Amino acid sequence: MNRNARGLATVLLLTASVACSTESKTERGTGSDSVPPAGRAHSQSNGGAVPPLSTARGVVLFAGTSLTAGLGLSPDSAYPMLIQRKIDSAGLPFEVVNAGVSGETSSGLLDRLGWLLRARFDVLVIETGANDGLRGIPVSTLRANLETALDRIKAKRPDATIVLVQMEALPNLGAKYTSEFHNVYPSVAAAKHAVLIPFLLNGVAGDRSLNQADGVHPNNTGERIVADNVWKALRPTLEARAFAAVGGGRRTTADSVARR
């Protein structure tokens, strides 16, 4: 278990019961396709509906938990919105949609996946598993849910790029559980040909100065670090897709990284 995961345990153990309670309320009464995305990563909420998007720009859809939704922050400050600013600064032709849902487990992601697949996207970033870890959900369930989700996405959108965000479990669940939990992400990403982003909360988890009062969700300063973590891994993927879209041929992520 790395330092960030140990730090995460210190602060999350105090709030795990609260988070699980929130999760139960979120998931209760939700059936297949019933939970809509939170909407486009812009400052104005539109009641959960994905707004019309310009066909001239690709779409990066973020599907995740409260960490993606930006719980406790203004919509403009959630990391997907910060990613949009980085995309614009880099001159890349992509528009971000934030479909984060607080309290969601990997099973909840599967429940609304059909809804998400009706939206237009070129890149789908999946951040899930944090609430599975808080509840001690079997790793086999997490793995099966991730594999099923990625298979369904690939079947419906074979040309889309899937990006999987590494999450970590709490050390109090035991070394065997935390190790198996960690290993699910690189294993599934490799098997399903997804891009793997390192641990979302690297450099933030366990640092009280970078988190809100609950000790779980990043504050504005911490959220900027989270955005940097995601951007380092996501940018080469977006550059490769943009390069291919203008007729330059498909460039691999490795090629993109090598040129920077």
Q: Catalytic residue numbers?
A: 66, 214, 217
State the number of CA atoms in the 13 A half-sphere of 233 facing the CB.
Answer: 20
CA distance 207 to 134: 19
Report yes or no: 129 and 110 within 8 Å, Cβ to Cβ: no
Query: Is residue 196 within 8 Å of 185, Cβ to Cβ?
Result: yes
Distance of CA 4 to the CA centre of its chain: 18
83 Cβ contact list (under 8 Å, min separation 6): 41, 60, 62, 96, 227, 230, 231, 234
- The rounded distance, in Å, linking the Cα atoms of 116 and 111 is 10
CA gap 187, 147 in Å, rounded: 10
From CA 205, how far away is CA 215, in angstroms rounded? 8
Q: CA 231, 236, 238: angle at the middle one, nearest 5?
A: 85
Rg, the chain, Cα only: 17
